[in-house]
């Protein structure tokens, strides 16, 4: 006994399962199993050996095979006629007349205005997010970012002083400036790596855990009026 079990499936999955179970070579026919299937899927009536159409009061309106009921002038015939008309309308919409011209859709002015007026962010939102991470973790992240930015800029100034020193003293100062430049480059790289690690390994997992926990607790403790 199956109660409308295909209502939650997409068309391709439904077709595959239905053929494997109810088809001519399906599992139920091979096992000789009697199946009672309650369904609104009218396009599956051809698979059945016997159809029972029920009315709104639960009484049997008509009963028989597809061939018997197709031209009986009853409920099943009306369903078949409706499906045929819907299929015809669908095929007509897929194959429009080549001479017909359709006007381009007009843009929704209200949606465009709403899109323009939509806020890109609010300080309270950012504050709430960073508070869920912890201020010490935020301080470390921004400290690493500032370190990377400052050191990267310092290398540019260092090249300027290096050029001036080379113009006055020649190659005597190259060793000093090369070592200093390498040190600053390593410090900048370290700051970048530490900032990325702090963000990916600490801040994102912690914020996800805290915010999800708050959301779960809020929903679980919400009053019945919230759900109804």
Give residue limits of the domains in the chain: 2-92, 123-227
Tens-digit pLDDT profile for residues 80-123: 655 554 455 555 555 555 555 555 555 566 666 666 666 666 78
- CB-based contact 137:203 (threshold 8 Å): yes
Residue count of the chain = 228
Give the per-residue pLDDT at 86: 45
Q: Which helix (H) or strand (E) holds 90?
A: helix 75-94
Give the per-residue pLDDT at 39: 82
Cα separation, 203 vs 196, whole angstroms = 10
Cα separation, 185 vs 178, whole angstroms = 10
Give the per-residue pLDDT at 121: 63
Non-local (6+) Cβ contacts of 45 within 8 A are 51, 66, 76, 79
Non-local (6+) Cβ contacts of 53 within 8 A are 60, 61, 62, 63, 69, 74, 75, 76
Give the per-residue pLDDT at 54: 84
Cα separation, 48 vs 29, whole angstroms = 11
Give the per-residue pLDDT at 187: 93
Give the per-residue pLDDT at 226: 86
Give the per-residue pLDDT at 40: 77
- β-pairing verdict for 51-54 and 60-64: antiparallel
- Decide: residue 149, CB within 10 A, 0-12 exposed, 13-18 middle, 19+ buried: middle
Q: Which stretches of the chain score pLDDT less than 70?
A: 80-121
CATH architecture observed for domain 2-92: 3-Layer(aba) Sandwich (3.40)
């Amino acid at each position: 006994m199956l109660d409308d079990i295909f209502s939650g499936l997409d068309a391709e999955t439904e077709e595959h399962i239905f053929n494997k179970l109810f088809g001519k070579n399906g599992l139920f026919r091979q096992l000789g199993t009697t199946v009672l299937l309650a369904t609104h899927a009218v396009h599956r009536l051809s698979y059945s050996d016997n159809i029972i159409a029920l009315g709104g009061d639960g009484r049997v309106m008509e009963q028989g095979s597809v061939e018997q009921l197709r031209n009986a002038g009853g409920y099943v015939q009306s369903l078949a006629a409706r499906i045929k008309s819907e299929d015809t309308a669908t095929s007509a919409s897929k194959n429009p007349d080549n001479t017909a011209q359709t006007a381009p859709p007009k843009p929704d002015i209200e949606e465009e205005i709403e899109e323009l007026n939509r806020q890109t962010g609010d300080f309270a939102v950012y504050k709430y997010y960073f508070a869920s991470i912890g201020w010490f973790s935020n301080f470390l992240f921004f400290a690493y970012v500032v370190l990377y930015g400052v050191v990267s800029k310092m290398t540019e100034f260092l090249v300027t002083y290096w050029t001036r020193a080379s113009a006055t003293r020649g190659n005597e100062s190259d060793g000093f400036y090369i070592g200093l430049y390498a040190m600053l480059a390593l410090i900048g790289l370290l700051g970048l790596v530490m900032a990325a690690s702090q963000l990916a390994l600490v801040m994102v997992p912690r914020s996800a855990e805290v915010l999800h926990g708050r959301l779960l607790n809020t929903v679980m403790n919400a009053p019945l009026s919230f759900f109804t």
